[in-house]
Structure formats: C-alpha cells, structure tokens
Amino acid sequence: RTALLGGAAQFGIFLTLLGALMLNWIPGFDFSIRDAASIGIIGGADGPTAIFLSSKLSPHLLGSIAIAAYSYMALVPIIQPPIMKLLTTEKERRMEMRQMRYVSRREKILFPLLVLFLCTFLLPSAAPLIGMFMLGNLARECGVVDRLSDTIQHSLINTVTIFLGLGVGSKLLAANFLNIETVGILVLGMVAFGIGTASGVLLAKLMNHLFETPINPLIGAAGVSAVPMAARVVNQVGLQANPHNHLVMHAMGPNVSGVIGSAVAAGILLSML
C-alpha cells in the first residue's frame, strides 16, 4: 500500500507535460512534445532521471531542466510542509503508525533482482536507470563485496558527481539558458513538484477510507523521489504535531518506490517518444 504512494506522486510528471504544451499558447514559448516530456520529469524530483531523459529527448534543455530539478530537490523542506499541512488535519498528522516487520537479508537480496527482472521484461527502456539503482542496493546487501560497496558509496559517487556537475555546466550557455523558456521550465517544475506532493497525500487519505488499517497521510508526500530528504521532512512535520510520531522509516517506503516510479515514468516517455 505504501509503495503505491510513490506511484501517485508521478501524476505531477504527466500533468506538467500537458502544462508545458499549453504554454505554447503564450508568445515566446515553443515546446515540442519531447520538450514537454523532459520538463514534466522534473516532477519526479529525481535529478539523475531528469538528466537521463532530457539528454535523450531534449539535449538543448538539459541545463535548464537539471538546474530546476536539483533546485527544487534542495527546496523540499520549504515547498512540501505548507502543502502537507493544507491537505491534512491536525488529527491526521498526529496519527502514529505501528512498527514494521523485520526484513531478512534474503528478502533484501531478492528485492533488487526481482525489480530489475520485472523492469527489463516489461519496460526495457528504463533498465539503465533501474539497473544502476538496483546494482547499488545489491552490492550493499549481499555482504560479499564490502570493498566495492564502500567505494560506490563514497569515492565513486563523489567522482561521478563532480563530472556530472561539469557536464551539466557545459550546457548552460547564456543563449540557451537566459531566455523566457527557462522561466517557464522553472515555473512548471514548481507546479510538478507541488502536484506530486499533493497526489501522494490525497491517495493516502483515500486509502484510509478504503482500508481498516490507517496510515498517516503525511507519508504520501514522500512519494516524490528526493531521497531521503522528503522522508525527513515528513518525519519533521509529524513530530511537530506529535513528539512521539516517528515516521521516517514508514516514509522511506513511498520515497524509494517514488525513485522506481520516476524511472519507470521516464522509460514510458522514452519508449513512446
């Protein structure tokens, strides 16, 4: 059930895609369907996915989309709490969730393999994104490549981040960045992020009407892919309403499923466009 919240947060991607196409009615904007798809993926709040998709569909917008995606990921503590509080009551925010069950190492090893198999079989275009994500999980959980796992988590990720920043920066030419389309991308990115947050919260509220075991609607906001920032923000808002309400581990379920969901959404857009 909580994994579905990560899927609900992807509504922001597809609604923003339509919003980007509607901007073409305003003079100065000229977004193609491929451009609109690249802009919409900002709503997934997953920087690598946004860069991957825009590099395939709209390389000329890569710099603007990457800046928007990472800017809103950094602004999660500012953007999400007002939306979460607007859509929930004090009683809902105070709701405590029961302790989750213990997960065995065998399950932790089988999970990335199963997810990768299903993705490769059903949506091959998303396999590179899902594959890298699951490779990191498998290396960490299998317990037999500790040295490689440590390298991936520290020195390798730092090196990749440096080169990624340099690569994105090389696309930020003034002629391509300082224009009206960049303003539109930044506005649409904010809209996408807000819709994704609201969709997760509203689905959680709907689930509470359909199932006997209630869940705190706040964790639906963690369905956006900003890991683990969104889960921490959910926990902070929950603690403000109830000092004994620790939601961070419950929120990590929608948070991780949101990463998978945004990669799947990117794969769908890539295969269709």
For 97-145, the pLDDT digits (tens) are 887 788 898 999 999 999 999 888 888 888 888 888 899 889 999 988 9
The torsion defined by the Cα of 6, 12, 182 and 55, in degrees rounded to 10, comes to 50
Burial (0-12, 13-18, 19+ Cβ within 10 Å), 216: buried
pLDDT tens for residues 180-192? Answer: 888 888 888 888 8
Q: Quick one: which of 45, 29, 53 has its CA closest to 179?
A: 29
Q: What is the C-alpha radius of gyration for the chain, rounded to an integer number of angstroms?
A: 19
So what's the pLDDT on residue 10? 84
Locus of tokens 């963690």: 222
Q: Binning pLDDT at 50, 70 and 90, where does residue 201 land?
A: very high
The C-alpha angle with vertex 246 and arms to 230 and 252, in degrees rounded to 5, equals 40
What does the longest C-alpha to C-alpha distance in the chain come to?
Answer: 58
